[in-house]
Amino acid sequence: MTNSLGFARHGDKENSPFFEQYLTRLLEERDRVGVTDMIYEIDAIMITVDPGHSIGYIAELALMTPYHYLVTLESESHWTHVLRIDLDSPDLLVREVKDPNIRGIFRSLNEVYPIGRHKPNSRYMGEILRVSDLHGVTACQKEREFRFFNQDDVRRLEMPGNLAITKPSPYTHNIVCYMERPRHELRVYALGVSRVREDVQAAYEAAKDKQKQLGIEGLILPIDHLATRVYSQNREVAILEWLSLSSYYYWGSYDIKDQNSSTNVTKSVHYPQEINSPAKVFTANNTPYFVNHLEKLPSPTETFVRNYGPRLHHIAVAVADGESAGQENIEYVVEQIKAQGHNFLLDVIGSKEEGLKQIFSSASEHSSLIIEYVQRFGDFDGFFARDNVARLTHAAGVEEELKELETQSTDRPVPR
């Protein structure tokens, strides 16, 4: 039996007695009833984009990440493109809504937020977790009061019929899906009609050729972590809820005092390497927005959540340790991608001495998601330089302030 409480704790952020008590109770019970050993890696992540955006997004991902275009699943009102590296790392499902007038629960989650509503269908939806016993896991989770879409809902949502899908979390707005698959069998998504679309294939191949030509193809590795931003008061419950839904453990939290924020890390109990199952990170302000005027504190994380809603903020992709053309790989990769017209929010930060270097890209015009590149040196296995996190958070906040101003200057009342 896996012991989810047997991992070393990192970080300096103090949690409430509520958190510590329920962390122990929830993980002990999860291990005891066998849920920990029925749920495995993140098998896929799902992102929806607005009409007309999936080809551009796939080209962007083919250049900036190791993903390959595999196939498109066509259903009545969506194209679901399957992107894959291999079976040791998660797939990426990019769903494009065909009709801009389509309405639904995921769109509603964007529409109540002032910037989020401008790309009403574009959002990170959540993860698919591989399970060994779909019935066993869902029965247990239902007993623990997690809510699931029923089979009719799943059909209407045009999501793969072989998934069990939770309702969006009240804290992160993400969904968690379970898919039964023995470790060495292929991933199968039971959805629509499957074919390779020539227009998608052409855009993918052009971007991949460019990636090869730039000499960055072998330097960019699979996803390292997925970072979700939540309201300050939801930090602890968002972590505990995710741990209850997955087989992840609590690695620890760092207080980023400079930015009035904390970074909270969870990792898979089954896979020590993030490339097999990315770490899930939660970021939250330390204090709610309405005390800022008293404390005179910055608030980029809470501002993001107020503008976009709780949601995924960035996908971090690892860069191979080493050097290319006399530069550290991360510097080389960023320089090549910049030359293709992609912007970054700051220069590469961090150092070999601190253990890692990091950078944020600008938010994608297709998905609103930022790509982080992270290069770790030697055997460093942490997520910080604390100073890096403060500077990354600050840079993303500055960019977002600009977007907010843009939005205000172009905003029209929403027709009723």
Span from 10-18, 141-149, 199-207, 219-227 in contact with Fe ion (CB under 5 A): 219-227
The distance of closest approach from Cβ of residue 355 to Fe ion in the complex, given in angstroms and rounded to an integer, is 14
Nearer to Fe ion, 35 or 227 (CB): 227
Smallest CA-to-CA distance from 72 within 191, 238, 183 is with: 191
**Candidates 127-135, 225-233, 346-354, 361-369 — which segment interacts with Fe ion by CB under 5 A?**
225-233
Interface characters, 143-182, with Fe ion (x: CB under 5 A): ----------------------------------------
Measured from the CB atom, the residue of 236 and 372 that comes closer to Fe ion is 372
CB of 61 or CB of 154, closer to Fe ion: 61
Please report how close the Cβ of residue 265 comes to Fe ion at its closest, in angstroms.
10
SS3 state of residue 257: helix
First to last CA, the chain: 56
Between 321 and 372, name the residue whose CB sits nearer to Fe ion: 372
> CA 303 → CA 174, 317, 322, 399, distances in Å?
19, 25, 37, 12
Mask for 365-394, x = binds Fe ion (CB under 5 A) = -------x----------------------
- To Fe ion, the closest distance from the beta carbon of 314 in angstroms equals 6
| Among residues 61, 129, 164, 227, the one that binds Fe ion under rule CB under 5 A | 227
Tell me the CA distances in angstroms from 173 to 164, 168, 169, 229, 285, one per residue in order.
17, 5, 5, 10, 17
Q: Which two tokens stand for residue 86?
A: 């291999």
Q: Which is nearer to Fe ion, 72 or 263 (CB)?
A: 263
Distances (CA, A) of 348 to 62, 195, 214, 219, 329: 21, 40, 19, 16, 11
CA distances from 143 to 33, 99, 138, 249 (A): 12, 37, 8, 21
Nearer to Fe ion, 243 or 316 (CB): 316
Tokens of 381: 């296995």
Print the binding letters for residues 304-323 with Fe ion: x by CB under 5 A, - otherwise.
------------x-------
Q: Is 82 helix (H, G, I), strand (E, B) or coil?
A: strand
Q: Tell me if 356 contacts Fe ion by CB under 5 A.
A: no
CB 120 within 8 A of CB 367: no
* Interacting residues toward Fe ion by CB under 5 A: 227, 316, 372
